[in-house]
Amino acid sequence: MTLSLPAHDPAGPALEVVPLGGLSEFGLNMMLISWGETSILVDAGVLFPDPELPGVDLIVPDLEHLEATGRRIAALVLTHGHEDHIGAVPYVWPLLDGPVLATALTLALVEPKLEEHGLEAGDRLVTVTPRERITVGPFTVEFIRVTHSMPDCVAVAIGTPEGVIVHTGDYKVDQTPPDGQRFDLHRFAELGSEGVLALFADSTNVDRPGVSGSEFEVVDAFEEIFTSTRGKVVVAMFASSLFRMQIVADLAERFGRRVALIGRGMVENSEIAQRLGLLKIRPGQLLRDSDLRACPAQDVVCLATGSQGEPQAALSRIAIDDHRHVKLEPGDTVVFSARAIPGNEKTIGRVMNHIAARGADVVYEGIRHVHVSGHGSGEELKLMLSLVRPKVFVPIHGEYRQLARHAQVAVQVCPDARVLLARNGDVLRFRAGTGEIAGRVAAGRILIDGTRTGEIAGEVLRDRRHVAADGLLVPVLAINRQTGAIEGVPDVIPRGFVVDDRSESVLAEAGALLTEIVEGASVEERTDLGLIRERVRVELQRVVKRRSGRRPLVVPVVMEV
C-alpha cells in the first residue's frame, strides 16, 4: 500500500512515520515523517557490506516508495556525521525539495559527498545549533545536544499537529564529553513534562548492563601502551572517531610522539574537524606519511583506517607489508580501537595474523580497554525513557532482537506507553494521542558497486537494473593455500554480459588476465582469501571497463586448495 493522502482519508490528514531503514540492521538509518502533503526525512545512512560480500561497496536504502508516490521531501534532517546516518545523502538528493538541516560538522562531512557526486548544494545546507527551532510546513524541528563518539551530535524533537515526536539519533550519556558540550538532559526532561507523543530511540547497546562510560576511559590503556612500546604505535579506528583521534593525539603529545594520519578518510575527516576547531592537533606535531621513514619509530603514532579488516584500507596494506610509508617491525604495537562489527571477525582476525607475523604486538578491546562504545547501555536507555515518558515508544537502530529487548525495557520504565515494534517499511499512523502500525510500503536495499575503483558521479549506481544492462562476470580460480600459486586454469563465467567485438576479446583472454592479476600480488596477499578476492574484483573490473567500455558486476569465486 502507499501512504494515504488527505483526499482519500475521511478522517483528515494523519501523522505518518515510516522507517525506511535502520530497523533490524545496523546502518541505513532513514525515517520518513509525513503530515498531509508535507514529508521530511530524518537521516539518510548507508550500510557497509560484510567484507566477505563480493562485488558490493555500499548499500543504500531503496527509495522506490518515495519515487513511486511522487512524494518530495521538504527537508532532510541529519542527527550526526556517521556514515550510517549521512552516507546516502547524495542518493536522496534528487528527491529533496528543501534544505538539509544539520550541525556544522555534520554538514561539513556531507559536503564532499555531494561534490563527489557532482551535486550542487548551493545554499541548501543550513547549519543549525542545539535548541534552535526551524519550521517546515506543519512541522517544527528542534535540535537537542546529545553525546556520542564524535562531536556535534543532536537528537531532534519534531512538533507536529498531532504532538511532539522525539528521535534520539545515536547517543550515550557522556558526563565528561571531550569537547565539553554537555548532553542536554534538561531539554529532554522539559519535553517529557510538556508531553511527548512518540519517542524513537537508539537500541544498539540494550543488551549491555549499566552505562557505557566516557570517551576518556581509554586513556589508562593507551598510557600503558605508550609507556611499554619500544617502536611505533599504530592505532586503527574509524575515520569518524574524532574524539578517539583527539585523545590519542593529546597522549602522543604528552609522550613526545608525533602523529601521522594514514588513509584517505582519516586525513579528510581530520582536516574538516580541524577547520571547524573540533579537533586540535598542533601543526608541528603532525607528521606527513612520507616523512615517516625518516622519523625514529619510538617517536611516532600512526592513526590508520581499517579497523574492520577492510581489504582496501590502510591497515590491511600495512599488515601485509604493502604500504608505501608504514612498515611494521618487531617492537611496534598495533591497537584496534574500535568494535568489531558482527560479521567482520574473520576478516579482522586475518589482518591480526598478518600483523603478528611481522613481529608486532596486537592489542584489541578483549585484552585492554582501548575502545568505549558511543551508544548508551541499559541504564542510559532507561534514563531517556523516564525523562521523555512518551505515549508511544518505537525502538530503532538495532537488530530485531535488540529492538524487541528495548521494547521490554520500555514496558518496565513506562508501563502506560504503547510500544510499537516496527520493521522497515511499516507505516506508523498517529492520531488522537496514540499510534498504530497501519500498513506497509516497499522498503529495501540497493547494492552499490564501484566507489573504490575511483569511478564517480553517474557511474557509481550499480543496482539490479544496471546488472541487467551490463551483466555479471564470475571469475573462478583455485589458489594453493601454502604457496599462493594458481591451481588449474582460471576461468570467467559471463551472465548477461553483452558480447560484441570489444568485449569478446576480453572474455577470450580472461584466463590469462586473471593469472596476471594474481601473479601481481604478493604471496601473503594471494594466500589471504579476502584480499585476493578484492584485488581480482577491482582489477578485473578496471580492465574490462577499459577494454569494453562496460561495467559488469564482478563477483569472484576464489577456492583455497
Minimum distance from CB of 89 to Zn ion (Å)? 14
Minimum distance from CB of 283 to Zn ion (Å)? 29
List C-alpha distances in Å: 258 to 77, 254, 327, 355, 517.
38, 10, 16, 22, 37
In whole angstroms, give the CA distance from residue 87 to residue 90.
8
Q: Which is nearer to Zn ion, 19 or 311 (CB)?
A: 19
In whole angstroms, give the CA distance from residue 446 to residue 56.
10
Contact 410, 395 (CB under 8 A): yes
Minimum distance from CB of 82 to Zn ion (Å)? 4
Minimum distance from CB of 376 to Zn ion (Å)? 12
Select from 370, 74, 91, 432 the least CA-distant residue to 241: 370
HSE at residue 331, side-chain half, CA atoms within 13 A, is 10
Q: Which is nearer to Zn ion, 82 or 537 (CB)?
A: 82
Contact segment (CB under 5 A) with Zn ion among 57-65, 133-141, 164-172, 174-182 equals 164-172
Q: Which is nearer to Zn ion, 82 or 232 (CB)?
A: 82
In whole angstroms, give the CA distance from residue 260 to residue 518.
31
Q: Which is nearer to Zn ion, 170 or 215 (CB)?
A: 170
Other CB atoms within 10 A of residue 477 CB: 23
Other CB atoms within 10 A of residue 512 CB: 11
DSSP label of 3:
P
Contact segment (CB under 5 A) with Zn ion among 84-92, 276-284, 301-309, 460-468 equals 84-92
Minimum distance from CB of 144 to Zn ion (Å)? 16
Minimum distance from CB of 294 to Zn ion (Å)? 37
DSSP label of 48:
P
Select from 97, 83, 28, 42 the least CA-distant residue to 446: 28
Contact segment (CB under 5 A) with Zn ion among 125-133, 163-171, 274-282, 407-415 equals 163-171
The helix/strand/coil state of 494 is strand
Q: Which is nearer to Zn ion, 202 or 332 (CB)?
A: 202
* Contact characters 219-248, Zn ion, x per CB under 5 A: ------------------------------
Which one of 65, 82, 187, 462 is in contact with Zn ion (CB under 5 A)? 82
Contact segment (CB under 5 A) with Zn ion among 36-44, 82-90, 348-356, 421-429 equals 82-90
Minimum distance from CB of 81 to Zn ion (Å)? 8
Q: Which is nearer to Zn ion, 86 or 191 (CB)?
A: 86
Which one of 16, 162, 170, 332 is in contact with Zn ion (CB under 5 A)? 170
Question: Under the criterion CB under 5 A, does residue 179 sit at the interface with Zn ion?
Answer: no
In whole angstroms, give the CA distance from residue 126 to residue 115.
16
What are 10's three cell numbers?
A: 475521511
In whole angstroms, give the CA distance from residue 165 to residue 160.
8
Q: Which is nearer to Zn ion, 84 or 289 (CB)?
A: 84
Phi-psi region of 288 (alpha: psi -120 to 50; beta: other; left: phi over 0): beta
DSSP string covering 217-271: GGHHHHHHHHHH-SS-EEEE--TT-HHHHHHHHHHHHHTT-EEEEESHHHHHHHH
Contact segment (CB under 5 A) with Zn ion among 81-89, 183-191, 332-340, 348-356 equals 81-89
Minimum distance from CB of 338 to Zn ion (Å)? 12
List C-alpha distances in Å: 227 to 219, 221, 223, 251, 371.
12, 10, 6, 11, 18
Minimum distance from CB of 80 to Zn ion (Å)? 6
Active-site positions?
Answer: 202, 375
- The backbone torsions φ and ψ at residue 131, rounded to the nearest 5 degrees and listed phi first, read 75, 0
Contacts of 220 (CB under 8 A, 6+ apart): 369
Interface with Zn ion: number of residues (CB under 5 A): 3
Q: How far is Cα of residue 474 from the mean position of the Cα atoms in its chain?
A: 28
Contact segment (CB under 5 A) with Zn ion among 87-95, 119-127, 167-175, 491-499 equals 167-175
Which one of 16, 57, 83, 84 is in contact with Zn ion (CB under 5 A)? 84
Site for Zn ion, rule CB under 5 A: 82, 84, 170
